[in-house]
Amino acid sequence: MMSTKFERFQFTPFINDAIKDLGFYEPTEIQERLIPSILKGESAIGQSQTGTGKTLAYVLPMLQKIDPSKKELQAIITAPTRELANQIYQEVLKITKHCKEDEEIAARCYVGGTDKQRTIEKLKNQPHIVIGTPGRISDLVKENALFVHTAHMLVVDEADLMLDMGFIEDVDVIAARMQEKLQMLVFSATIPEKLKPFLKKYMENPKFVHVEPKQMAASKIEHILLPSRHRNKVNLVYEALKAYNPYLAIVFTNTKKKADEVADGLMSKGLKVGRIHGDLNPRERKKMMKQIVDLEFQYIVATDLAARGIDIQGISHVINYELPTDLDFYIHRVGRTGRAGFSGMALTVYEPANEDALNKLEKMGITFKHVDLQNGNWTELDDRNKRKNRQRQTDDTDKKAQSLVQKPKKVKPGYKKKMKWEMDKIKKRERRIKRK
């Protein structure tokens, strides 16, 4: 088997075998910058967008540091959603399956919505590594079923989302009972101010790595703007979905209530629609994710919870029913499509109130195509900024006229009228020049 550039990290043979088996040859930027520090036992903060390879950046060195001969808990990975926790767990299993029989690393996944009593019974034997949601892990800690005092490594994945969802307190409960010399690894797309007191409490001079995405959004994503123009937005999204006939489309809303409203509206028009949001109970969510993976739906309506961490294969179209209030989420949303080198399309239905947000996205490097949809037909519209540019041109002409016509030192009656006449003459001349 050919060697890889991961070998310079001097991982144990089973990790190198797993890397080759997974087909990875070269570390990503965040892996390159964080793996050596994590191997040295340093705490670290990794700020990066989705799709930068951060999961392996902490999973590989963490597995390297586990001592299989000690039958005790050594590492904990927390994630804000059950789906993300399960996804990380699957990544861990892909690597631990390469362990030799006498050096097996036991990993377990604990999330809400599963039988807690059965979990407690099975914890007579403590695993080496636990992956799960903070609520369920802290429950098991409080029940004295999971012995976290032996663990010295803690990962907080998607920390800003943890904060938004109110899970940081649960993470605090877990961290407070772990070893005093705790190696904490925090990963987040943004580092909000409200997260900083928690970080300071557990981390002393952590290594900070900020990986800027090469582009704000994947290069093969086409960004399209569709003005709502006081039309019924559910009807407009329905028309867009019918016109696109996507392989798999995900429609994003900002709230659970709106997600249900849009999903119900689309279903009333005969579309088979899946939905993902926080109000689904655990069984419904599990069933929904399975149906989505099995391609039972062509259309999914979701809140931003689905934009973070959940990897749904084959999304060809993303539709923003409304722009997110936090514009970083725009990148997360559209990042669901155009993955692994495929092209994708991101359509945003916008209203006049969204102008500032759209301008900010354009400053972030997003280039929009402006279109309209009438009777199932797409037409290209003028650039939204055309009127603004025309206004700016007029302003420039005004400024030039004002600079050329000075107020006389000795004013005579009617001087203002004379100045205005002079300025109008200059403005007309300037406009004629520009038209040529």
Q: Can you say how many angstroms the Cα of residue 432 is from the centroid of all Cα atoms in its chain? A: 50
As given in the structure block, the two tokens for residue 327 are 């514009």
Residue 391's pLDDT band, with cuts at 50, 70 and 90, is very low
Asked whether the predicted pLDDT for residue 213 surpasses 80, the reply is no
H helix or E strand, kind and range, residue 378: strand 377-380
> From CA 154, how far away is CA 316, in angstroms rounded?
36
Residue 367 pLDDT more than 70? yes
Q: What is the mean pLDDT of residues 11-37?
A: 91
245 burial class (0-12, 13-18, 19+ CB within 10 angstroms)?
exposed
Q: Positive or negative CA dihedral for 288, 292, 295, 297?
A: positive
pLDDT digits (tens, 9 = 90+) for 246-259: 989 999 998 889 99
Longest dimension (CA), the chain: 103
What pairs with residue 227 in β-bridges?
350
CA angle, 334 then 336 then 341, to 5°: 100
- For the chain, domain boundaries: 5-211, 221-380, 392-435
For the stretch 79-91, what's the b/e string if a residue is b when 16 or more beta carbons lie within 10 angstroms of its beta carbon?
Answer: bbbbbbbbbbbeb
- pLDDT tens-digit readout, 32-45: 999 999 999 999 99
Q: Is 170 left (phi over 0), alpha (psi -120 to 50) or beta?
A: alpha
Strand order in the sheet with 273-276: 273-276, 299-302, 249-252, 317-320, 344-350, 221-227, 368-374, 377-380
R_g of the chain computed on alpha carbons = 28
Domains 5-211 and 221-380 share a fold: yes
Task: Select from 78, 82, 81 the least CA-distant residue to 62.
Answer: 78
Cα–Cα nearest to 252, from 316, 342, 334, 313: 334
Is 0.85 surpassed by the pTM of this model?
Answer: no
β-pairing, 317-320 with 207-211?
unpaired
Q: At 190, is the pLDDT very low, low, confident or very high (cuts 50, 70, 90)?
A: confident
State the DSSP code for 385: T
User: Model confidence over 217-232: pLDDT tens digits?
Assistant: 556 789 999 999 989 9
CB 336 within 8 A of CB 312: yes
Which CATH architecture group holds 5-211? Answer: 3-Layer(aba) Sandwich (3.40)
CATH of 221-380, one of 3.90.1170.40, 1.10.10.60, 3.40.50.300, 1.10.287.110: 3.40.50.300
pLDDT at 173: 92
Q: 3-class SS at 38?
A: helix
| pLDDT the model gives residue 396 | 61
Asked if the model's pLDDT at residue 375 lies above 70, the reply is yes
At how many degrees (to 10) do helices 415-435 and 386-404 cross?
A: 130
Q: How far is CA 5 from CA 46, 99, 263, in A?
A: 21, 21, 46
Q: Encode pLDDT of 267-284 as tens digits.
A: 999 999 998 887 777 678
pLDDT of 11 reads 94
Question: Mind listing the pLDDT tens digit for each residue in 133-173?
Answer: 999 999 999 999 999 999 999 999 989 888 878 899 999 99
pLDDT beyond 90 at 363: no
